[in-house]
Amino acid sequence: MPARELGRTGLKISAVGFGSWVTGGPGVMGWGAQSDDESVAALHRAVAGGVNWVDTAPVYGFGHSEEVVGRALAALPAADRPLVFTKCGLVWDANGVEYQDLTPESIRRECHDSLRRLGVDHIDLYQIHDPDPTGPPIEESWGTLLELAQEGKVRHVGVSNMDVEQLDRCQAVGHVDTLQPPLSLVKRDAAGDVIPWSARNGTGVIVYSPMSAGLLSGTFTAQRAAALPEDDWRSRNAEFRPPALERNLALQEALRPIADRHGVTVGAVAIAWTTSVHGVSAAIVGARTASQVDGWLPAATLELTADDLDEVVTALRATGAGRGPIPA
């Protein structure tokens, strides 16, 4: 699998990485019931296919995702273990209520807990999960991550879900190694601001939800949307309800001829579009099962042609799906 430079970190990562949000199972922003054994098998299939990094977070299942990732890592020979990326800033109390805490004390405590759950002696990339406008100045929180890097607890540091103004403030304190924004054909805003900022500043970009949480997988239907359980966050999301749902499903179908020409899934086309955006280093892709991994692994080597990309633009304009700039 081709490797890509991740900004100035020196890390060379596969064009797709394994996302373990669904691995956390049900919860406030969970995906419903999920088998731990199938999660481990899915991550192992991704690694066997050439994926060399996994992205997780403590808040996914309130520590459960990190624990399952740790179990999967422990079952692999040391030489085969992927790079481990995780996050901080979203925590929970004894009653299972999620809240933000980006104080230096909380960040250090979270880092210690993540190291324990993952069973590793350092974290390859440690990221602020979400900015907290009511918390300490972002410069203070970012400075704590830089200290953790100096201490060797983490190798590289990054941020997620930040705007340009917040990125500028962090960059003034110390270089932002990476950015993790959402990017898909349904949610394109990042392509117009934070991804160009990253390209100008030598910041690596790993995008999340490139298949728009399954909407562009090639297998999603209106019936599946209607049957989503209450403990799956998508059941409460406007993109999974009319009228947006119809537009998104029309876009999914419009990608099918491109997928057929390349002999890949619609999901692989959707992912490859995100990694074709200038400034994007790689995409995080989740999976419930090993077979789902097989469906999107070809995205890592899929090169969309100019005609393919023009067809995508035509589909976006015809369906009116999503929001954000449409590529020229």
Does pLDDT of 27 surpass 80? no
208 confidence band (pLDDT: 50, 70, 90)? very high
pLDDT digits (tens, 9 = 90+) for 168-185: 999 999 999 999 999 999
* pTM confidence score: 0.96
Q: Render pLDDT for 112-161 as a digit per residue (tens, 0 to 9).
A: 999 999 999 999 999 999 999 999 999 999 999 999 999 999 999 999 99
Mean local confidence (pLDDT), 52-67: 97
Fold of 3-216+266-302: TIM Barrel (3.20.20)
Q: Is a pLDDT exceeding 90 seen at residue 271? A: yes
**What residue spans define the domains of the chain?**
3-216+266-302
pLDDT tens per residue, range 218-253: 999 999 999 999 889 999 999 999 999 999 999 999
pLDDT of residue 2: 86
Model confidence band, residue 259 (pLDDT cutoffs 50, 70, 90): very high
Residue 30 confidence (pLDDT): 84
Q: Whole-angstrom Cα distance, residue 38 to residue 16?
A: 19
